[in-house]
Amino acid sequence: MDDTAAKREGHSLQHDESVQEVKRVKSDDRGAVEKSSEAPEAENILSAVTATKVLKDSAREKSIFIHGKLSAQLGDQEAVVIMESTPITEDTLGELFAKSKLRLESEGKVGTIYRLQAPPHLNAIKTTVVCPATDNHVKKYQRQETFLVEETDADYRSITLPYIEKHCLSVQWVCNILEKKAEVERIVYEDPDPDVGFILLPDFKWDQRQVDDLYLIAIVNQRNIRSLRDLRSTHLPLLKNIYKKGQEAILQRYQLPTCQLRIYLHYQPSYYHLHIHFTKLSYEVPGCSGERAHLLADVIQNLHLNSDYYKSQTMYFPLRADHGLMNKFKKAGRL
């Protein structure tokens, strides 16, 4: 589903053939490309963008989403620009303290407030340019009301499943990962077993600079499981294998114990090939709230109790006002 926040993001710039693609782009935003931190300085494509509207901004997340347009010289195309402040990391503190400039803003009884101007290389803004941007891209990033949908088994069969089969995006990029045609260098762990195996790799939203915002995805080798709704007790060996080996791999690679992990599935998922999210418990990643995230430990327990639990269970999930599935539920009189 192209409006959710859990999709794997690619970050940096793409314009015609002038920028080399070095990372796989996310499933629905093929115009956004990740560049490695060692890449040479790129041409400032932003100088050719005219901002037309702020779609969304967040002081808390220190991000802004802008709808704009490239100049005629660069094709006169629509674009969405996403700008996010990068986190302050421990390894930069020495230089940050020693080489920054301070300007006094206010003094109080508790403390003094300064405006700090960091050295340019420590003051980067992660920038994504989606170009050409479609109407769907603009809608995706625009602030909208969200509604909680109640989906019975009958609703899934008559409303959701037909919508998925007609509108869901291609998951060829997932097949490319499983077939080692893409992202091989990013794999953290792999179990090649065709029935219970999976590939574990970082989500593109994680820059891998610090464990505090750890975010990995386990993609299952089986290709006929679309979502939580398809899971039965026969899938317990697969789910238990991911739960056990995923934790072991993270402990070995990042020294992060199980008690500090959040391991969960989304419903609805952002793409229809079963995948499991691994994040650090203290990291409040978008999409980890109770109305959308289902802990893998709970899923395993529920399937032990009832093989058809997720087939028959009434499910709840959020949808944005402009989402196509939202309109289907409205037309069916379910909202």
**What local confidence, expressed as pLDDT, does residue 61 receive?**
80
pLDDT beyond 80 at 7: no
pLDDT beyond 60 at 138: yes
Q: Is 275 a catalytic residue?
A: yes
Name which of 21-35, 169-183, 306-320 the model is least confident about.
21-35
Name which of 24-28, 86-90, 107-111 the model is least confident about.
24-28
pLDDT grade, residue 102 (50/70/90)? very high
Would you tell me how many other CB atoms lie within 10 Å of the CB of residue 217? 23
Question: Quick one: three-class SS letters along the chain?
Answer: CCCCCCCCCCCCCCCCCCCCCCCCCCCCCCCCCCCCCCCCCCCCHHHHEEEEEEEEEECCCCEEEEEEEECHHHCCCEEEEEEEECCCCHHHHHHHHHHCEEEEEEECCCCEEEEEECCHHHCCEEEEEECCCCHHHHHHHCCCCEEEEEECHHHHHHHHHHHHHHHCCCCHHHHHHHCCCCCHHHCCEEECCCCCCEEEEECCCCCCCCHHHCEEEEEECCCCCCCHHHCCHHHHHHHHHHHHHHHHHHHHHHCCCHHHEEEEEECCCCCCCCEEEEEECCCCCCCCCCCCEEEHHHHHHHHHHCCCHHHHCCEEEEEECCCHHHHHHHHCCCC
pLDDT grade, residue 59 (50/70/90)? confident
Domain range 1-86+124-143, CATH architecture = 2-Layer Sandwich (3.30)
Please report, for the chain, the start and end positions of each structural domain, with discontinuous segments joined by +.
1-86+124-143, 90-121, 145-331
**What local confidence, expressed as pLDDT, does residue 113 receive?**
92
- Per-residue model confidence as pLDDT tens digits over 316-325: 999 988 888 9
Domain range 145-331, CATH architecture = 2-Layer Sandwich (3.30)
pLDDT grade, residue 274 (50/70/90)? very high
Averaged over 274-280, what is the pLDDT? 97
Averaged over 263-277, what is the pLDDT? 96
Share of the chain above pLDDT 70, in %: 88
Intrachain domains 1-86+124-143 and 145-331 with the same fold:
no
pTM, rounded to two decimals: 0.71
Among 15, 67, 273, 275, the active-site one is 275
